[in-house]
Amino acid sequence: MAYRIVGERDLAEDVLQDAFLQIWQYASSFDANRGSARGWIYCVVRNCAIKVRLARLHEVAIEDRILLAMFDGNAVQVSRLPENCALRRGLEQLDPRRRDSLILAYLHGCTHDEIAERLGVPVGTAKVWIRRSLITLRALLT
């Protein structure tokens, strides 16, 4: 069932592992009055698979060479991306400080606190910049 939903064997195996972990952790929530154990297990697996499938719909595929072109030591240089790259065009349209917050979060793995400190803004501002930049970038790439 997981394979039918996600369409990839490796991904289906990951879904099953996550589902079995949830079944183990939440076994006490099973209620025999509401249905069979088999039905409950199928429901957990199905829900896990659907979550993975929906999450994959929101992913934007970017070629490895494009991502690698962005890095030059610790600095990220958008200008090193190919000019016809949608990611470059999208990043260039963002406000520079908001773009920096996004890059620090997703390419350098900085925490919200670290980003706020580096950019000299409150933590809440850094969080909002990252979220809004992601929304804008997603809209520009789709």
> Is the pLDDT at 111 greater than 80, yes or no?
yes
Domains and CATH numbers, the chain: 2-57 (no CATH), 64-141 (1.10.10.10)
Q: What is the pLDDT of residues 57-107, one digit of tens each?
A: 655 555 555 555 554 444 445 555 566 677 777 888 888 888 888 888 877
Mean pLDDT value of segment 10-34: 92
Distance between alpha carbon 59 and the CA centroid of its chain, in Å? Answer: 7
pTM of the model: 0.46
> Which amino acid, 101?
S
Site of tokens 């088999």: 38
Q: What is the pLDDT of residues 33-55, one digit of tens each?
A: 988 999 999 999 999 999 888 87
CA distances 13 to 4, 36, 45, 71, Å, are: 12, 24, 11, 33
